Chains A and B, each alone.
Chain A
């Protein structure tokens, strides 16, 4: 079983819709959870971090964490073509340690 799992996609949503990206993780002691956006040929860009159960909102982005279910998600409201990218879920088990990444979900926002 992979440590961090994501559906590779592509996930296709029309412009203006809500995109829902999901991630599950296997290590119950995981403490910190991150979503990165990676455009083709570019490096990952941090867009959301979440540490406590529940929702965290930042602009059009909402991260949701459920530690009991070992599940973290990212919602993107009012999706724009510029949101088309690969979204990487990352998990951290310590204060200053490596991130374990999923393989990413490719999102396509269509006009």
Chain B
């Protein structure tokens, strides 16, 4: 496909269960990002991957959250022992950072998101 894809689109789980969310970035995009958006709130950065560099995990809210990415392909975000406060839409974005004329570009394109509901 041409855009970022995410699965599942919706996930309902019980408190304490583990969940795994998947993101397939735009082909050729080296950077991949995960964000979280709680109902009625702004986007909250979680983690990003850039090529083979160490990921920036500075936004992960707790050690229950982890993410992996193999090379420049699919990424999975795992939430262990889910809590009700984890209920949100989890958004994945990808970009192909580039430099031109001394400026830095980082246009990020978002997938449709996974709506997670923890009962």
Give every chain A residue within 8 A of B50 (Cβ-Cβ): 96
In which size bucket is the chain B interface? 20 to 34
In the complex, what distance in Å separates the CA atom of A103 from the CA atom of B41? 6
> Interface majority SS on B: helix, strand, loop or mixed?
strand
Contact with B along A32-71 (1 / 0, CB 8 A): 1010100000111110010110000000000000000000
Check if A94 is an interface residue, CB within 8 A of chain B. Answer: yes
In the complex, what distance in Å separates the CA atom of A102 from the CA atom of B42? 6
Least CB distance from B6 to A in Å reads: 9
Least CB distance from A37 to B in Å reads: 11
Least CB distance from A91 to B in Å reads: 11
In the complex, what distance in Å separates the CA atom of A51 from the CA atom of B58? 25
Q: Is the CB of A94 within 8 A of B104?
A: yes
A95 nearest CB neighbor, chain B only: B104
Check if B31 is an interface residue, CB within 8 A of chain A. Answer: yes
In the complex, what distance in Å separates the CA atom of A104 from the CA atom of B38? 13
